[in-house]
Amino acid sequence: MKVETKLEGPELTEFLQEKALTIRRDIIKMTGIAGSGHPGGSLSATDIVAAIYWYALRHDPNQPKWKERDRFILSKGHAAPVLYAALAETGYINRDVLWTLRQFGSALQGHPDMRKVAGVEISTGSLGQGLAIACGIALAGRLDKLDYKVYTVIGDGESQEGEIWEAAMLAAHYKLDNLIAITDYNDLQIDGRVSDIKDVCPVDDKWRAFGWHVICIDGHDMDQIVAALDEARQLKGKPVMIEAKTIKGKGVSFMEDMVEWHGVAPNQEQMIAALKELGVDDWTSW
């Protein structure tokens, strides 16, 4: 049975927010137990990923290779915890596996591996490649006369990569209106502010200049995310870029907008404090 919801309005918003909260809790516990990982960028993308998996995506966890499925590609592959948490919550992988993140022999590596984890469409991690591959998959769908959509989340730091803009040109040239990309724009990368290191702004104007339809939203406002996904799915003749303004570490006060949490996991004390902020009093029972 395909994962979908018939909810609308406030009920839909509340449902998706609850899914996002579950994912945030899992991200904290996963990275805390592992003592390794990228919590900041995983948390900033959480609301977007929740809306994609429980609202926009046509998929079936019992048939990961279902031909008619929509595809999701996490181009910013270092944010793998948000993807693993979504795959566990939707039923692609066993929830208990989450707590093996980055451990020797675990399928849940620091970057997603399509050969080892059901539901992972493409192995990503080399920044810029995910969007390029998404273009190829979208073009293949058109050639095969399949009506699936391809969703991909890229990072703002990742947008400094030349391959992103090569893919942008290709998608516009072939009018890939089955391709929907989302930029997780939290303005922080491993070394500091994106705007200080190599400013990519004005991002929206750049994508429009490359021939994309651009939608600018608050990436933590679930109503705006849903409305943007609706608009993107209905658009014809152009690929779509949703520019989502986000906050790195969103949901945990001491992680929010702090570059230090790009690739540093919480210790046990910090994990417990973060989970309490997210409504979990006993982390061992979560």
> 253: buried, middle or exposed (CB in 10 Å: 19+, 13-18, 0-12)?
exposed
Within a 10 A sphere around the Cβ of 248, how many other Cβ atoms? 24
Where residue 168 falls among pLDDT bands split at 50, 70, 90?
A: very high
- Tokens 């592959």 map to which residue? 77
Span 212-251, pLDDT tens digits: 999 999 999 999 999 999 999 999 999 999 999 999 999 9
pLDDT score of 1: 44
Q: Residue 149 above 60 pLDDT?
A: yes
Three-state DSSP class for residue 235: coil
**Six-digit token pair at 174?**
């072939």
Span 52-98, pLDDT tens digits: 999 999 999 999 999 999 999 999 999 999 999 999 999 999 999 99
**Strands (DSSP E) found in the chain:** 71-74, 150-155, 179-185, 188-189, 192-193, 213-218, 240-245
- Tokens 């004005």 map to which residue? 202
pLDDT score of 4: 61
- Tokens 């984890």 map to which residue? 117
Average pLDDT, whole number, for the chain? 96
Where residue 3 falls among pLDDT bands split at 50, 70, 90?
A: low
Percentage, residues of the chain above pLDDT 70: 99
Sorted by sequence, the CB contacts under 8 Å of residue 96 that are 6+ apart come out as none
pTM confidence score: 0.96
Domains and CATH numbers, the chain: 9-285 (3.40.50.970)
Q: Residue 278 above 60 pLDDT?
A: yes
The C-alpha R_g of the chain, in whole angstroms, comes to 18
